[in-house]
Structure 1
Amino acid sequence: MEAQYRDFVIRDWEKRDRTFAADVIHSVLTEYGLPWQPKEADRDVLEVEKFYQDAGGEFWVIERQGQLVGTGAYYPVKRGDRAVEVRKMYLLPSVRGQGLGKYLLQQLENAIASRGFQEIWIETASVLKEAVKLYESSGYEPATGVETARCDRVYVKFL
């Protein structure tokens, strides 16, 4: 996967991105007062091969001028029928408010649909107000069954 949005490049994660992607996610979680959980909810970003690539998902990074500024990913889940969960959608503060999050979500949805999945699940926290607004304005419906301790909202979209 490689896509261009303004001066951003969205591309597949590579091994050299491991620390940088983790730093972006850790930074955004800290900004919102949420815990970084490398042995629990964030273990997947430290083991992308196992949780995404080997499991039939994808993990993308967003670069601007050679610097990692965001992440976005999904992997199959047993939660629904031909379902995936969108995960690790984080953007640094310096790149928010430019439509990048909406574009990233659309690209994830296109990739998911092209692979025959029918349901997209997303868990988030109410404190991530921009994310909640994005999901709700993109056709995601509130659902039940939060599985991640730091999250208090779950959404689903049927393709």
Structure 2
Amino acid sequence: MVQLQYQDFVIRDWETRDSNSASELIRSVLSDYGLSWESTGADLDVINVEECYLAKGGEFWVIERQNIIVGTGAYYRTCRGKNAVEIRKMYLLPTVRGKGLGRYLLQELENAIARRGFKQILIETASVLAEAVKLYETSGYLPTEGVETARCDRVYFKNL
């Protein structure tokens, strides 16, 4: 069970009651960058967290501030790479960016992944998400090939 504290933020495991709030947050952040919500494609996993993450040995976390969801982060096992996972759905509302929360979230996801014995992390993103690209590149992720999500144009990997 995940329960982390960073400044006045609480990072915890996703619960069924978080479905609408998490979906709306992701939809909002995507819209801010001119990207569309894909309920039958790239974002179907947010609608089916139990099936897409939890049942497959992954995790889905929400970040709260004063009991309001302000961010998400998740990972699940992938067939790409050797003993690999893909970090997904790392989104923060604009009001909480620039506080080190994204870097902290990424590090804690990496720690959880390493504790579970995985050896490689993949992350897909879009160039328009400039803050995310910078975060991954300054956190030791290297560009690679094989983008699978239509709205993404970059994929990164990191060996643990």
TM-score, length basis structure 1? 1.00
Query: Corresponding residue for 1:98?
Result: 99
Question: What secondary structure does 2:76 align onto?
Answer: strand
Indicate the residue corresponding to 2:57 in structure 1: 56
Which ranges in structure 1 are unaligned for 5 or more consecutive residues? Answer: none
RMSD: 0.2
The residue type paired with residue 148 of structure 1 is: T
CA offsets 1:16-72 (integer angstroms, 9 cap, x no match): 000000011000000000010000000000000000000000000000001000000
Aligned residue identity for 1:126: S
Q: How far apart in 2 are the matches of 1:2 and 1:73? A: 14
Q: CA deviation at 1:92?
A: 0.2
**SS at 2:53 equivalent:** helix
Residue 54 of structure 1 aligns to a residue in which SS? helix
Q: Give the fraction of aligned pairs with identical amino acids, expressed as a percent.
A: 68
The aligned residue for residue 131 of structure 1 is: 132
Matches within 5 A, 1:20-59: 20-59=21-60
Does 2:117 match 1:116? yes
* Pair 1:141 & 2:142 matched: yes
Deviation per CA, 1:81-139: give whole Å up to 9, x if none.
00000000000000000000000000000000000000000000000000000000000
Q: Which amino acid aligns with 1:104?
A: L
Take 1:46 and 1:61, find their aligned partners in 2: how far apart are those partners? Answer: 14
The amino acid that maps onto 1:64 is R
**Structure 1 Cα separation of the partners of residues 71 and 39 of structure 2:** 18
Aligned mates of 2:71, 2:21 — CA distance in 1:
9
1:13, 1:116 → 2: CA distance? 22
Aligned to 1:87: 88
TM-score when normalising by structure 2: 0.99
d(CA) in 1 for partners of 2:43, 2:116 = 25
The number of aligned residues is: 159
Q: Secondary structure at the match of 1:9?
A: strand
Tell me, in whole angstroms, the C-alpha distance in 1 between the residues paired with 2:99 and 2:135: 13
Cα drift, residue 147 of structure 1:
0.1
Deviation >2 Å, runs of 4+: none
Unaligned runs of 5+ in 2: none
How much has 1:150 moved relative to structure 2?
A: 0.1
